[in-house]
Chains A and B, each alone.
Chain A
Amino acid sequence: MNGIEPGAVPPARAVAPFLVTAPLGLTIAGIALLAAEPRALGHPTTPPLLAAVHGVVLGWMTLSIMGATLQLVPSVLGGQPFHSRVHSGAALVACLLHSSGVTLMVAAFAGWRLPLLASGATLAVAGIVGYLLIVARSLTTARSRGPDLTSLRLAHILLGAVAAAGLALALSLRFGWFGVTSGTVAAHAHLGIVGWLGLAVTGVTYRLLPMFGIVRGMEPRFAGVVPGVLAAAAAGAFLIYAVDPPPVARLLLETALALVGVAWLSDAVRLYRRRLRRRADLYSRATLLSFGFLTAALLLAPAAAVLPADAHPFPGPALQVACGFLLLPGWAGATLIGNSYKIVPFIAWYHRYSGVAGTRWTPGTADLYSSRLAHAVLFLVAGGVVSGTAAALGSSLVALRLAGTSFATAGLVACGTLAGTFLVRPERRAARLSAGGTAAPAPRR
């Protein structure tokens, strides 16, 4: 043996709740957009947009990344897993605290109810702190030397920072501790989008794209620098935005951030083009869509940072909202969907069938969910991103409601299909077929 702990797998009851309930964050974000009033599109910090942003980033994305980290760091990056019932129970409590906190936050933002916002933010941050304490052991003991682990470690430090900054904002709005300005909000938003989501998604893609697409013998050019530069850029953006910088400083900062994005995108596109597994499937479609959305966001971002509110034809704030749609449910969302339908069915398969595999027929991971419904999730989200972007650029409430409907539906379908991977029984169908004289179906690949 080679000294690797055989039980490098956290229990399903600890990770599944994160991964399966995460898409409901997209549903509540969609509902917030559906309830939006005509003034909602004027600025990124209107109540319905704040509600939708936090439903997406804290509900859907943060919960998904938390579940994937709990699973992947021990099983792929060699970190120590947790086995004990106490740890599993603590993970479940963290998940519950976080999800209920985020639900309250979204409701509070949508109706601009500050006492509720303070309570929701406190619960959500308690969940994040609990999760960070649980995942710390895996992250500190993992052995990979790649950009994936560096990114995940830095991203988790910045998750703590963005949660602290968000809680400070929420409590200040409630108790008037300090003035919440557009600068302080932008500082927090950059820390969250670049420092937490950006680092986690770029770093994990450096590992998962070669793993799911099978890429051999190719070293990405910028993998060694992207994690450090992104973390420094997130911290720099936080400090600079906090002092309400002049337009020229914002332009320089956003251009620099866009250049880091371009460097990462060029790596990701090269990896994608060198993949050996070339079948057109959900993963490849989601990856291509994510590249397209990121390209559009990178082109818009510098202009969004400097154009004034009265610029014609597109005011700066409208471009910022458009960038939000393209980057969050667009780039990060499409990436997440592609990865979720690889990771969750495999976790379900592993916990349900690995013990009997080789001794009797077992289904493949693709038998545990409907590929059509998974594609429906991807295209609903992509459609929502396109109509949300159009809504921002054309001030169209109808398009915004369309985006809301797409997101709300996509979240429900995703939650149902991912939960189904732990529940469906393809072996019953196989048994029926073989009892009827037909051989058990070969697992679909």
Chain B
Amino acid sequence: MMQLIIDNRGLEPPQPMVRILEALAALREGDEIVALMDREPRLLYRELERRGFQWEFSDGDDGPRVRIWREAHP
């Protein structure tokens, strides 16, 4: 399993979204992206869903981050 960390903090929209979407192509089943964000990327979710990915957003002590992985095939 590979974990790809993308630091999107301090970037202006739509750069964070573009960087995440670009990284999706390299993601295989079992891999995940962890993107460090300045805020929740609500507008990203529609694209993730359309492209067959799942996500989990958290906003803990270490700041907002979204974890993304490929939807498991049934």
Residues on A facing B (Cβ under 8 Å): 1-2, 4, 6-9, 75-76, 78, 211, 214, 216, 276-277, 346, 349-350, 353-355, 357-359, 362, 364-365, 443, 445
Contacts and interface: CB of A to CB of B under 8 A. Distances in A.
B47 A355 contact: yes
Interface in B19-74: 20-25, 38-40, 42-43, 45-50, 54-57, 63
Counting chain A CB atoms within 10 Å of each CB, the highest count among B10, B11, B18, B63 belongs to B18
A424 B66 CA distance: 32
B10 A364 contact: no
Interface of B: 9-15, 17-18, 20-25, 38-40, 42-43, 45-50, 54-57, 63
28 contacts: A1-B45, A1-B54, A1-B55, A1-B56, A2-B55, A2-B57, A6-B46, A6-B49, A8-B45, A75-B43, A78-B42, A214-B10, A349-B14, A353-B14, A354-B21, A354-B46, A354-B47, A355-B50, A357-B17, A358-B18, A358-B20, A358-B23, A359-B25, A362-B18, A364-B14, A365-B13, A443-B18, A445-B11
Contact of A357 (B40, B47, B55, B63): B47
A277 B12 contact: yes
B46 A358 contact: no
A10 B46 CA distance: 12
Contacts of B56: 1-2
B25 A354 contact: no
Given A276-B10, A358-B18, A445-B15, 10 more contacts: A4-B42, A277-B10, A277-B12, A354-B43, A354-B47, A357-B22, A358-B21, A358-B25, A359-B25, A365-B12
Contacts of B39: 211
Contacts of A9: 43, 46
Contacts of B54: 1
Contact of B24 (A6, A8, A358, A443): A358
Given A211-B39, A276-B10, A358-B22, A4 B45 contact: yes
A204 to B, nearest CB: 15
A76 B42 contact: yes
A8 B43 contact: yes
B72 to A, nearest CB: 13
Counting chain A CB atoms within 10 Å of each CB, the highest count among B10, B15, B42 belongs to B42
Contacts of A365: 12-14
A350 B43 contact: yes
Given A211-B39, A214-B10, A277-B10, A364 B46 contact: no
Contacts of A359: 21, 25
Counting chain B CB atoms within 10 Å of each CB, the highest count among A276, A277, A357 belongs to A357
A76 B10 CA distance: 17
B46 to A, nearest CB: 4
A368 to B, nearest CB: 11
Contact of B12 (A1, A357, A358, A445): A445
Contacts of B55: 1-2
A211 B64 CA distance: 13
Given A1-B55, A358-B25, A346 B13 contact: yes
A350 B12 contact: no
Contacts of A350: 14, 43
A353 B14 CA distance: 10
Contacts of A353: 14
A422 to B, nearest CB: 15
A9 B49 CA distance: 14
A355 B10 CA distance: 23
A437 B11 CA distance: 29
Contacts of B63: 216
